[in-house]
Amino acid sequence: MREYVLTLCITVAVTYLLTGPVRKFAIVAGAMTEIRARDVHREVTPRLGGIAMFFGLCAGLLVADHLENLSEVFDNSNEPRALLSGAAIIWLVGVLDDKFEIDALVKLGGQLIAAGVMVMQGLTILWIPVPGYGSVSLTAWQGNLLTVALVLITINAVNFVDGLDGLAAGMVCIAAAAFFMYAYRIWYGYGLEAAAPATLFAAILMGMCLGFLPHNLPPARIFMGDSGSMLIGLVLAAGAISITGQVDPDAMNLFAGSEKAAVHQTVPVYIPLLLPLTIIAVPAADLVLAIVRRTWRGQSPFAADRGHLHHRLLEIGHSQSRAVLIMYFWCGLIAFGTLAYSVNSASMWIVLVIVGLSAVGLILLVLPRFRPKVPYWAEAFVPPRYRRRKALTEETEAAARAAASAPLPPGVNGATAIGGRARFADRDKAGSTR
């Protein structure tokens, strides 16, 4: 665990320290995000934050290669090299898009090349565990096709959700933390060495996100851009592919008693949302809804709009910071709830806690539309928006502004109209307080 923590800290430090110089470079290079109708930010902000994240990835892999225990991952597996190769390709495509805004089909081609390079170097799905049956071996083309599809889905899911300050980095960090705990349990709990690469990838991914988040929290000083969102999506997909396709449930028979029992223990991660996509369930749901919505309107699935989940939270009445925290909450609930269920699927308490937290999450979603009548003596203990006096004052001021901006009828001068409107406003205020 100490070597993983050291790798994590080095990745955080490199990413954090490089983000400042990268921001200055992005400004000089003109890689700036202009303000568009669908955007939430109101200031021109530099992109290319993925440059710092990529060098954080390289630093994490370099440090891990020189540590006593983690160096065995590089000696016994080609997956770290496959990850670095695919990450370099997708990062270059993202940098070009951040600077020149290349066509969506060109980006899709770059994603296919990055996924193909990783498959060629051995990072692919070999079998799929099926509950109640056992592991199903895949042919070469089946495994390669499923691997490429998983990479594309994960990259675009993370890219689509990158719409608010700190949203994508925070959600991926939460998912990576849950994924690290799951992979670490399989690696050291069951002694399956095939889970070691996925554990390393998750630790490095957490470091990349944690190092970038301080610069990206609202109000963001720099955006990760496609060079960052596609990069962290690919790293997350690589870890999912590694632990899904490389860890053989047959090897868990010694601990679970039978192959079916071993598969049953891994069901919470493999089955609910197509393999380990459970950990990015919220971005994946946003991706599916966006494709359906745009296709229904006759638009391209890659056409940008303001229909994403975080945009809907803003339309309901949430602030940007609160919308980000709500998305964090749901991502953490799904990721860690799945993790807890995979550890002990027979515990009813875990299910009840998940259901209870889901109810809390639903209440948080509709909170802006809910304004309870708080007694006057309790107003000091609730936020200002729930205080009755403040709400009445705001309504009175809004009515006065609307009345002042209304056109005057013929024959009425301004002084008479203003005095009359003031009396009506005072009368309405007195009546409402009663």
The CB-side HSE value for 325 (13 A sphere, CA atoms) comes to 8
Nearest to 164 by CA among 327, 22, 304: 327
* Residue 297 located in a structural domain: yes
Query: Is residue 353 located within the same domain as residue 399?
Result: no
- Percent above pLDDT 70 for the chain: 64
* Residue 93 located in a structural domain: yes
Q: How confident is the model at residue 372 (pLDDT cuts 50, 70, 90)?
A: low
Burial (CB count <10 Å: 0-12, 13-18, 19+), residue 165: buried
Query: Is residue 245 located within the same domain as residue 390?
Result: no
Does the structure show a pLDDT above 90 at 397?
Answer: no
* Residue 399 located in a structural domain: yes
Query: Is residue 281 located within the same domain as residue 135?
Result: yes
Does the structure show a pLDDT above 50 at 104?
Answer: yes
CA distance 34 to 45: 7
pLDDT digits (tens, 9 = 90+) for 136-186: 778 888 889 988 998 998 898 888 777 778 888 998 898 889 888 888 887
Q: What does pTM read for this prediction?
A: 0.74
Which one is predicted more confidently, 412 or 184?
184
| pLDDT at residue 422, rounded to an integer | 45
**What Å distances lie between residue 76 and 71, 86, 140, 195, 396, CA to CA?**
9, 19, 21, 12, 72
Mean predicted lDDT score pLDDT of the chain: 76
**Domain end position, chosen among 319, 337, 369:** 369
| pLDDT at residue 427, rounded to an integer | 45
Does the structure show a pLDDT above 90 at 61?
Answer: yes
Query: Is residue 282 located within the same domain as residue 391?
Result: no
pLDDT digits (tens, 9 = 90+) for 295-332: 777 766 655 655 666 666 766 666 777 778 888 888 88
Which one is predicted more confidently, 278 or 238?
238
| pLDDT at residue 304, rounded to an integer | 60
Q: How confident is the model at residue 72 (pLDDT cuts 50, 70, 90)?
A: confident
Query: Is residue 136 located within the same domain as residue 186?
Result: yes
Q: Which two tokens stand for residue 425?
A: 């406003």
**Residue type at position 333:** L
**What Å distances lie between residue 201 and 12, 91, 144, CA to CA?**
14, 16, 20
**Lowest mean pLDDT segment, chosen from 25-29, 64-68, 191-195, 330-334:** 191-195
CA distance 133 to 112: 32
Query: Is residue 232 located within the same domain as residue 344?
Result: yes
Query: Is residue 277 located within the same domain as residue 395?
Result: no
* Residue 375 located in a structural domain: no
Instruction: Provide Rg for the chain, Cα atoms.
Output: 26
pLDDT digits (tens, 9 = 90+) for 1-32: 889 999 999 999 999 999 999 999 999 988 88
Query: Is residue 333 located within the same domain as residue 423?
Result: no
Number of residues that this document lists for the chain: 434
Residues with Cβ within 8 Å of 253's Cβ and at least 6 positions away in sequence, in order, are 259, 261, 262
Query: Is residue 311 located within the same domain as residue 195?
Result: yes
Domain containing 404: what range?
384-433
Does the structure show a pLDDT above 50 at 55?
Answer: yes
Contact 247, 303 (CB under 8 A): no
Which one is predicted more confidently, 63 or 329?
63
**Domain end position, chosen among 337, 369, 401:** 369
| pLDDT at residue 160, rounded to an integer | 76
Binding residue positions:
159, 226
Does the structure show a pLDDT above 60 at 341?
Answer: yes
Query: Is residue 86 located within the same domain as residue 19?
Result: yes
Binding residue positions for Mg(2+):
159, 226
The domain total for the chain is 2
**What Å distances lie between residue 324 and 197, 239, 284, CA to CA?**
30, 25, 16
End-to-end alpha carbon distance in the chain: 65
* Residue 374 located in a structural domain: no
| pLDDT at residue 1, rounded to an integer | 80
Query: Is residue 325 located within the same domain as residue 403?
Result: no
Query: Is residue 147 located within the same domain as residue 72?
Result: yes
| pLDDT at residue 360, rounded to an integer | 80
Could you say which DSSP state residue 257 is in? S
